[in-house]
Structure 1
Amino acid sequence: MQVERADAEARAIDWLVRQRDPGFSDWDGFADWLTEDDTHAAIYDAVASLDRDLDALPPSPAPSVVMIPDAPRRPSRRAWFGGAMAAAIVGVVSISGLGLLGGGDRIETLAGEHRTVTLADGSKIEINGASVVEIDADRPRFARLEAGEAMFHVVHRDNDPFVVETGGAKIVDLGTAFNVVRRDRQTSVAVSEGIVLYNPDRDNVRLVAGKGIEARDGDSTPPVVRDVDVANVGGWRSGLLVYNGTPLAVVAEDLKRTAGMQVRIAPEATDLSFRGALIIDKNRDRTIADLAALSGTKAARQGDGWILTR
């Protein structure tokens, strides 16, 4: 068991180092590795967190004496990080044993990267790309979606509801599965199982399976409840995005978050909306071709991405 964890830690370091390369493109392979085992995401998060902590250290003061020309150079912080982690792996040291996963944890995903986090109570959070989720070991029935998108699968407890905060809103779960999107001062919630309460202390909007809302910050009236297709809630997890009259700019944002695709909308096409279903194909050109055909636009390559024109 310890050997398997050491192998996973080594793989996590390898992914982190490879992703520093501006030309890195194996996001599908990275996502596959994350989903191979429930522990991979937590191990990668701990390694990335340690790397960020090392970057945040103040630079070493300049030496006050002249260095001997042939003296060995002090390794960089990056090199020290690699060496320290390698030593930990050789010694089969557990990351969780070092306390790196304890207390509050901020999980940030890259565009096109998906992670799954299992909480102490058995609840699960599936996090889409370009998202930020905060969890706290001291509050096991709480999570905060700072930005992006996440699907929550919550274990029901009668006297201990699960709370999700995002923006200024609070979503209280009564034992269910639901998807939350936080973008540009707007929150979207869609429920596929059970019941949630949106802002119970203020709006007190009750959402059952097959219902959803779109709420903007600062609105003086409660958000309007709408129908959603249960089968499509959290469809991004399987590469399916379904829309009904959604602005193309929002579709482009979703493609970037879910698949790491860079899609620009030309000024003359910004007023167009999209209805239909998009499948995130391994051949991204095919996905863009479907979007263009269904939205009445023309797609052309632009740099590392595409541009849609009327």
Structure 2
Amino acid sequence: MPVEPNDAAEARAIDWLVRQRDPAFDDWDGFTDWLAEDASHAAVYDAIASLDRDLDALPPIAPTLTIADTRSSQRLSRRRWFGGAVAAALVGAIGLSASGLLGNGDRIETAAGEHRTLTLADGSTIDINGGSVVEIDDDRPRFARLESGEAMFRVAHRDGDPFVVEAGGARIVDLGTAFNVVRRDRATSVAVSEGVVLYNPDRENVRLVAGKGLDARDGDGGPPVVKDVDIANVGGWRSGLLVYNGAPLSVVAEDLRRTAAIQISIAPDAAMVSFRGALIIDKDRGRTVADLAALSGTRAERRGEGWILTR
């Protein structure tokens, strides 16, 4: 598929962002497909989204309204106002993305359903799942911080120069291997598919070899819990495969939101359901949700932009 010119990609990104503000928006498949068409689309979208976060600081863009117009103006949709505000803001932002002035290259934020790969100067790679924040440091080329979300690390080996990943207050030290890290709700999970990593070598000093993982909670959540993991499924989200062995449905729902932008809520009567099984992320998101419901013994009901699981 032909690559969009930069200005066309910016216009398309604005359109997606505006449409996503509409409560009736449900074209997450189309959004994910657009991101996948070209690697630059994610960067352009992130740049435009950063303007959204600063809109409250912008001067009014809409025409001045009289008092008589106020009541009718309150019925203007957020989509219409936001579209005008972003379009106006972009007048002063043309060319900024090309010059690197939009966003911070050391802080990578991905949207739900967006996947991105970083190749570091030492040859290590970081595959970043959707809904995640990863920070790197030019002054520390063998370092990364997973602030939230999920990432798969494939580390180039260097004698005497370990690679360090920070997640919450934990340090994961690696000498040349492949491992997946999830950071959610003041908790960290690690799964190793190759080599050896050390979890918090200055404290718990847990040694994890290929086929092992752990779950740890911040603060006084107790010692890390070591578990067996299937090497073949570590980082499976990169190929659209999610495998569980007794995970709460709330965790599965969070993973689907991050990996595929599927919005699922869990009804109170299904909150204690433990899920075991494999889910394939299908382009038909409804099919993936139907599989989850069938395998977990729940019912999936469409609610607005997403679904709710009930018993």
TM-score by length of 2: 0.79
Does the CA contact (< 8 Å) of 1:150 and 1:181 recur in 2?
yes
Write the deviation string for residues 7-27 of structure 1: whole angstroms up to 9, x where unpaired. Answer: 357525632442232256554
Partner of 2:69: none
Q: Distance in 1 between matches of 2:34 and 2:117?
A: 12
Distance 1:204 1:281, change over 3 A: same
Q: Distance in 1 between matches of 2:157 and 2:85?
A: 45
Partner of 1:19: 17
Does the CA contact (< 8 Å) of 2:183 and 2:189 recur in 1?
yes
Does the CA contact (< 8 Å) of 2:174 and 2:197 recur in 1?
yes
- Kindly provide the amino acid, as one letter, of the partner of residue 201 in structure 2: P
The 3-state SS of whatever aligns with 2:201 is coil
Equivalent residues in 2 for 1:186-205 (5 A)?
186-205=187-206
Does residue 238 (structure 1) correspond to residue 239 (structure 2)? The answer is: yes
RMSD: 2.9
TM-score by length of 1: 0.79
Distance 1:120 1:302, change over 3 A: same
The 3-state SS of whatever aligns with 2:16 is helix
Partner of 1:129: 130
Does the CA contact (< 8 Å) of 1:171 and 1:197 recur in 2?
yes
Write the deviation string for residues 208-227 of structure 1: whole angstroms up to 9, x where unpaired. Answer: 11110011112475423211
Write the deviation string for residues 201-242 of structure 1: whole angstroms up to 9, x where unpaired. Answer: 111111111110011112475423211011111111111111
Partner of 1:169: 170
Q: Distance in 1 between matches of 2:29 and 2:248?
A: 27
Q: Distance in 2 between matches of 1:81 and 1:253?
A: 33
Does residue 82 (structure 1) correspond to residue 90 (structure 2)? The answer is: yes
Does the CA contact (< 8 Å) of 1:9 and 1:44 recur in 2?
no
Does the CA contact (< 8 Å) of 2:163 and 2:173 recur in 1?
yes
Q: Distance in 1 between matches of 2:34 and 2:270?
A: 38
Distance 1:122 1:35, change over 3 A: farther
Q: Percent identity?
A: 68
The 3-state SS of whatever aligns with 1:126 is strand
Q: Distance in 2 between matches of 1:131 and 1:16?
A: 21
* Structure 2 unaligned regions, length at least 5: 61-83
Deviates more, 1:111-120 or 1:23-32: 23-32
Distance 1:304 1:47, change over 3 A: closer
Does the CA contact (< 8 Å) of 2:302 and 2:308 recur in 1?
yes
Write the deviation string for residues 115-159 of structure 1: whole angstroms up to 9, x where unpaired. Answer: 222222222211112211112222222111111111112222223
Distance 1:39 1:217, change over 3 A: same
The 3-state SS of whatever aligns with 1:252 is helix
Distance 1:144 1:105, change over 3 A: same
Q: Distance in 2 between matches of 1:13 and 1:213?
A: 44
Give 1:252 deviation, angstroms: 1.1
Deviates more, 1:253-262 or 1:132-141: 132-141
* Structure 1 unaligned regions, length at least 5: 61-75
Q: Distance in 2 between matches of 1:136 and 1:56?
A: 30
Aligned to 2:5, which of 4, 7, 10? 7
- Kindly provide the amino acid, as one letter, of the partner of residue 15 in structure 1: A
